[in-house]
Every structure is written in structure tokens, then in C-alpha cells.
Homo-oligomer: A and B are copies of this chain.
Amino acid sequence: MTALVAGAESRAAVFAGLALAALVFNPAGDAAAKPLTVADLLAGSPAADWRMPDPEDTLYMDLARGRVVIELASRVAPQHAANIRALARAHYFDGLAIVRVQDNYVVQWGDPDHHRAVPAGVRAGVEFTAAAGAAARFEPLPDRDAYAPQVGFLDGFPAARDPRSHVVWLAHCYGMVGAGRDDPPESDGTEMYAVIGHAPRQLDRNVALVGRVLQGMELLSSLPRGSGEMGFYVPSEATVPIRSVRIAADVPKAERTPVEVLRTNSATFRAVVDQRRQRNEPWFKFSPDHIDLCNVPLPVRAIPAAGL
């Protein structure tokens, strides 16, 4: 069986979220110049290059088909993160459903009719850009971007910055999770969406992004598309029930899904990005010499139970 698209040379085991096999030339420069795959880079990375998301910032959305693990961007959108924690702790989402799946756009879940009582303490707000202090944590990517003057990473999430105003915001890449809203622009976290298509960057600074899917993305992206307007499921279509949404910290340890995320300020991450920017492997006949923010892999790996 041949791979045929991008990377037939390498058959290293697929890494979570990094399925494209890819090669770089060995920086050690040994005689054989053995090319390193991204999987090799990750396998050889020091433990310190990885972080485990705070269980207080980790959301488990359990569906019949499996668990979706989401990391909340709690320092970027603290009010929404607090709201979502309060909603999960009040079991607000349990028994609600995924109500919208629009091809090449978003999956959306929650309570679109606002029938459920919102727990005390949940306050609607506007967090289109990052809370104060984010500019100092922003890690720029050298690559150009056409939607923002500068792009990079903030707390491990894809982000953008205006160097004049020092304003920083998260970017609508594949797998990012936001708080849906109507107009006026306040949102409270009772409606959430995940991006399942080409990055709708026009939404940046127009809606609050609150995190990203770390694991289980395919459980959302492979859902049947809704045939209603804007991908909403119509009454003749089964919505997808949400069994529960929990904060990982509230889940017994034996029932957690431990994952680690590669630190975006690590040497391993820089090597991964450079490999993906240059594509030096033989399959590529033309080096892109560029990487789009939303094509940068943000590696996640499962932690074996024995490793806890």
C-alpha cells in the first residue's frame, strides 16, 4: 500500500495529530545524514518539552462515540473559562446535544433555545482579544500572515498580535473552540463551537475563542452534516446527545484521559515547525519555505496509565 500523498518515504507510527510523515536532515550531521521524521523528533524529545494541561482547564465532553478533550485558554479568556467551569459543575450541558454541523465550518453544541437555567455566577461578556498581560507571553512565528500583522502562539494556542497596539488574540484554526454568540456580542459559554474546516479567520476578534480540542477531534469532524440552514440539524435528523461535560479535576483519576502537549517554546517544537516549513524530505519537489499558522502541528500525546 503506497501513501501517495506527502511522505511515502516514511512509515513511522502516526503520532496523535501529526499523521503526515515528514523528514528533516539530522542536525547532528552524522555521516549517514539519517533524516529525522517529526515522529522521531517527538520520540527523542526531553520530558521537559511537554506539559500536562491543568485539570482545572481541561474539559471532557463525553459522547456515545467517545470523549472529546478540550483545553480551556483560561488566561486568555478568564471569564469564559470560569463560566464554562461553572456550567460543567452545574451539569448544564449533560443531556444537551450537538445541534449543528456545517461542512467546512463548525460543529456547535449547547442550548440554542436557552431553555436551561444558567447557574449563578455565570456572566456574559466580551473576550474577543486576550486579557491583559498576554503580549508578554506571545511567541511570534516568523512566517507571514494575511489576516494579521503577526502570528504565533499564546499559552500553546495559535494566536495573532498587532505590534502597534500590543493587542493579542487567538486565531480560528482547525480544532479551536469558541463561545457562540448572537448580536449583541456578549457570550457566556452556554453555546460552544469547534472549527472543522478551513480556518475561518474572518471570525478572529469577532467572537471569543476559549480553547482547543486536544483529543477526539475526529469525533466531531466526522459527524453527519446538518441539512438545515447553516448546518443545523432539522427535526428529522437525530442530534448527537451529550452525555456529560466535566472538568477533568472533578473526574476520578482512574476515569481521566491524561494527555501531554508539546510546549510551543521548546526546542523540539521549533524543530517540528522548521521541518514543516521546509519540507526537505525527498517526496517534496518544491519547498514551500513557509508555514501557515493553522498548518503548524500542535502535538498532543496520550500518557500511558503507567506513567501517571
Contacts and interface: CB of A to CB of B under 8 A. Distances in A.
Interface of A: 1-9, 11-14, 19-21, 99, 101-106, 108, 112-114, 128, 143-147, 173-175, 178, 180-183, 185, 187, 191, 193, 197-207, 217-218, 221-225, 228-232, 276, 279, 282-286, 288, 290-292, 294-295
Contacts of A182: 2-4, 8
A285 B5 contact: no
30 contacts: A1-B113, A2-B180, A2-B191, A4-B108, A4-B180, A4-B182, A5-B105, A5-B178, A7-B230, A9-B183, A14-B228, A19-B105, A20-B105, A20-B230, A21-B230, A103-B222, A104-B174, A104-B221, A128-B286, A144-B146, A147-B288, A147-B292, A183-B283, A185-B285, A198-B198, A198-B292, A200-B295, A201-B295, A202-B284, A202-B295
A202 B288 contact: yes
Contacts of A143: 146
- Copy number in the complex reads 2
Given A145-B146, A180-B5, A217-B104, A231 B19 contact: yes
Decide if the interface of chain A is mainly helix, strand, loop or mixed.
Answer: loop
Contacts of A9: 183
Contacts of A294: 198
B229 A11 contact: yes
B285 A103 contact: no
A170 to B, nearest CB: 14
Given A20-B230, A146-B145, A8 B198 contact: no
A285 B146 contact: no
Nearest to A205: B286
Greatest chain B CB density within 10 A among A3, A279, A295 is at A3
Contacts of A20: 102, 105, 230
A303 to B, nearest CB: 19
Contacts of A224: 218, 222
Contact of A112 (B2, B147, B181, B198): B2
A181 to B, nearest CB: 6
Nearest to A15: B229
Nearest to A279: B202
A104 B173 CA distance: 11
B197 A198 contact: yes
A288 B173 CA distance: 15
Given A147-B292, A200-B295, A5 B217 contact: no
A285 B144 contact: no
Contacts of A13: 229
A112 B178 CA distance: 39
